[in-house]
Amino acid sequence: MDVTTNILIAERVLAGNAIIAKLYAGANASKRYRVYDGTAYGTLIYEGTIYTVADTYSEIDISGLFAEKVNVAGVDNYKLVLVSDEDVESDTIYFSVYGGAISKLMKRTLTGTDIFTAKLKKANDNFFLTTRTGDRIIIVPEDELQAFSYYAKGIDCYVKADGETIAGYEHSRDTEESIQVIDMAALRAQLVTDSNKLVNVFDVVTDSSYSFSVVIVDAGQRTDFFLKFKNSWGVYEMIGLRGQVDYAPVWAEAVKINQYDETVNDFISNQERKELTNVLTASTGYKTDDERLFLLDMLFSSEVILIAYGREYAVNVTTDTNLFASTKSEPATVNLKLELKDTDGAFTPMVIAPAYETLTTTTLEEIEANGATIIL
């Protein structure tokens, strides 16, 4: 492409996708370039060299500088400069790196625009950092409901319930980008307290238009098992495991050594303490096509946490399923293998089991414990 300025880079980029900078040093010439961050852009994080021929740019992918931001939502600002042989910096340009990434399939659909214009900064559409859906109706089982995050700068929005505005979030005057949250569970609980109403549909609107809705649905099958994971935007979401969960630990092959035994005055074969990997097999329960596609993001994630009876365990998750959507549109279950990241050489009787409660009361009352109603 024709050279119009010595540095070209998008003003806003995602850490997990290619970040292309186009640099021009002059015809058949070389120059150094530097990338700065920190307070007042005072921290040098990288210096490299480019060479350009005739009137063409040198294109470099600098995404490797921001690899640690791929799984963390947030934004940081950087400065890119060219450096002469005399160590004089010039052609300064500033850009912002946001956490997360989008798929190549999505990038192919963004012809002539970018993900910020199409979603993250599109106030009259679904701008939440959720991968449950890209549509304008977000359906969430009530026991999977988490606070929703979004990039706030420039967005003014309001939450309505039954046509009444119950909360406002105004950021059109913000000078710096930030992540803010809208906690639908807290708003829902407040409505119960203030108006004695249990609301399941919340509409997010702007001053001039409807944006999208959050629909809270009954969870159906109660469960004590959930998977909490960092989604592709770098924020936590949760999936309930509503089918059968089985604990099936895997033992490492025993290592045997010869050990002297004084009783028989000879060597005997003795095995060293074995190592155990904690493994669970789980069924998600019946999920719709959209819910099964949401599972894909969990399987992509490098940070998945099993919540079992309120306790948290870091796990690696795999599946033997390769069918996640079908034109038949019939609910289906997905089988998962959950392998705890810790391996063990010892046993303590508490893992993956409910904490039984000690029941004490001084009056006749009905209480619930471990899923059973008891009259005391």
Q: pTM for the full model?
A: 0.85
Claim to verify: residue 209 and residue 229 sit in the same structural domain: no
pLDDT greater than 90 at residue 366: no
Residue 288's pLDDT is 84
**What band does 172 get if pLDDT is binned at 50, 70 and 90?**
very high
pLDDT score of 46 more than 80: yes
DSSP H helices in 222-328 = 289-300
Of residues 208 and 261, more confidently modeled: 208
> At 195, which helix (H) or strand (E)?
helix 184-195
Q: pLDDT band for position 369 (50/70/90)?
A: low
Closest to 240 measured CA to CA, from 253, 228, 251: 228
Average pLDDT over residues 313-334: 86
Per-residue pLDDT at 124 exceeds 90 = yes
351: confidence class by pLDDT, cuts 50, 70, 90: low
Three-class SS of residue 109? helix
Residues 132 and 80 in one domain: no
156 with 195, same domain: the answer is yes
Is residue 143 assigned to a domain?
yes
Q: What is the DSSP string of 133-182?
A: -SSSEEEEEGGG--PEEEE-TT-EEEEEETTEEEEEEE-TT-SS--EEEE
For residues 185 and 240, membership in a common domain is answered with no
Q: Which of 269, 317, 321, 297 is nearest to 106 (CA)?
A: 297
Q: Are residues 249 and 321 in the same domain?
A: yes
Do 265 and 310 share a domain, yes or no? yes
The one-letter code for the residue type at 191 is L
Number of domains in the chain: 3
Q: Which domain holds residue 236?
A: 225-344
For residue 267, pLDDT over 90 is answered with no
Residues 129 and 177 in one domain: yes
**Residue whose tokens read 């639908």:** 184
The answer on 169 and 262 residing in a single domain is no
In this structure, what CATH number is given to the domain that contains residue 86?
2.60.40.10
Q: How far apart are CA 361 and CA 367, in angstroms?
A: 9
312 in the same domain as 230: yes
Residues 205 and 236 in one domain: no
- CA 81 – CA 84 distance, rounded (Å): 10
Structure tokens at 88: 């004089």
Statement to judge: residues 139 and 171 lie in one domain: yes
H/E segment holding residue 49? strand 43-52
Q: What is the pLDDT of residue 355?
A: 55
> CB within 8 A of 324, min separation 6: which ones?
289, 292, 293, 295, 296, 334
Q: What is the pLDDT of residues 19-31, one digit of tens each?
A: 999 999 999 999 9
Domain membership of residue 17 (yes or no) is yes
